[in-house]
Amino acid sequence: MPRGFPSLLLALLFAGSVAGCRRDDRSGWASGTVESDVVRVGSRHGGRIVRLAVREGDAVRSGQLIAELEAPELPALREQAAAQLAELEAGARPEELAVARAELAAIRADAELADADVRRVRRLAKEGVATPSELDRGEARSRSAGKSLAAAQSRLDLLLAGTRRERLLQARARLRELDAHLGELRVVAPTNAVVETLPAKEGDLVAPNREVATLLPSGRLWVRVYVPQPWIGHLHPGDSAEVRADAFPERVFKGRVDQVAREAEFTPRNVQTPAERVQQVFGIKIALPAEDGALRAGMSVDARFPGVPAETTGRHTRP
């Protein structure tokens, strides 16, 4: 046996005992992995990607352009809708009004002539010169001319009144719809985030509602840990939590209990005896602070809850 071997063995045993003490000191802590909310952005209309303004791993601000799509039919449809709306808002052309007024004047002249004729036939009928059938034809012609005059006046009134309000509302709604489609050709970040993946590339033809980029929003980190049943009576949403990460062993991050599971889990799930029910665990979701960006998704962390009495945590180590 080498001369230095016993000393080395003692040193290793001492280091192991110290490490064991440190692990024991962490009793009452629950382990988990940092996770982040995921936002998948895309276009509700679809089109061909002509520009990607970011790369994977870039930090983006709310409203920042991520991708720009092209759909050549949309501008043409909008121009058509805008022209139709302008036509409806303008109403009748001066030439149309002039024609309607001329027709009204001509029909009014015919109606006046028909009235004069029927009055003359009535006088002749009283004198016995005109027959009853001639009188009937004259009165019928006068009534028809009066109806034609009313119809011509109504047509002129409609032209002067302009387009119906309902048709204008429909045309304006169609224009807003096309503007919304055009806006969907610009995919922007809904919040401050980090670009995780860009599954689409420039030149790709993307369908409506297809994912263009996956974002990890800033400040939306959380960790889910599992605690023994006796702890549940001391944990409530809003309670404080202390979180330590393996990457920063000397640093304590302040978290907040965001959710306490309503349903327990068993290990194994069919445990029913009172002696073994201490293995029943509940999921706890802890919201983590954004801080300076130290914590990141995927980090291993431990959490403890100051609100849980020491005598409770001392009897139950991490599940």
Q: DSSP states of the chain as a string? A: --TTHHHHHHHHHHHHHHHHHHHHHTTT-EEEEEEE--EEEEESS-EEEEEE---TT-EE-TT-EEEEEE-THHHHHHHHHHHHHHHHHH-S-HHHHHHHHHHHHHHHHHHHHHHHHHHHHHHHHHHT-S-HHHHHHHHHHHHHHHHHHHHHHHHHHHHHH-S-HHHHHHHHHHHHHHHHHHHTTEEE-SSSEEEEE----TT-EEPTTEEEEEEEETT-EEEEEEEEGGGGGG--TT-EEEEEETTEEEEEEEEEEEEE-SS-B-SSTT--STTTGGG-EEEEEEEPP-TTS---TT-EEEEE-TTS-HHHHHH----
Whole-number pLDDT of residue 19: 36
Whole-number pLDDT of residue 7: 43
Whole-number pLDDT of residue 51: 93
Whole-number pLDDT of residue 8: 40
Q: Closest Cα to residue 255, out of 219, 226, 216?
A: 219
User: pLDDT digit string (tens) for 179-224?
Assistant: 999 999 999 999 888 898 999 899 999 999 999 999 988 778 889 8
* Structure-token pair, residue 238: 């809003």
Give the domains, in start order, of the chain with CATH numbers. 39-71+192-212 (2.40.50.100), 92-162 (1.10.287), 219-315 (2.40.30.170)
pTM of full prediction above 0.85: no
Whole-number pLDDT of residue 24: 37
Whole-number pLDDT of residue 22: 36
Whole-number pLDDT of residue 277: 52
Whole-number pLDDT of residue 279: 66
Whole-number pLDDT of residue 271: 45
- In sequence order, the 6+-apart residues with CB closer than 8 A to the CB of 16 are none
Whole-number pLDDT of residue 54: 93
Q: Can you list the residues of the chain whose pLDDT is less than 70?
A: 1-27, 266-279, 290-292, 311-319
Examine residue 268 and say whether the peptide bond preceding it is cis (omega within 30 degrees of 0).
Answer: yes
Whole-number pLDDT of residue 48: 93
Whole-number pLDDT of residue 275: 53
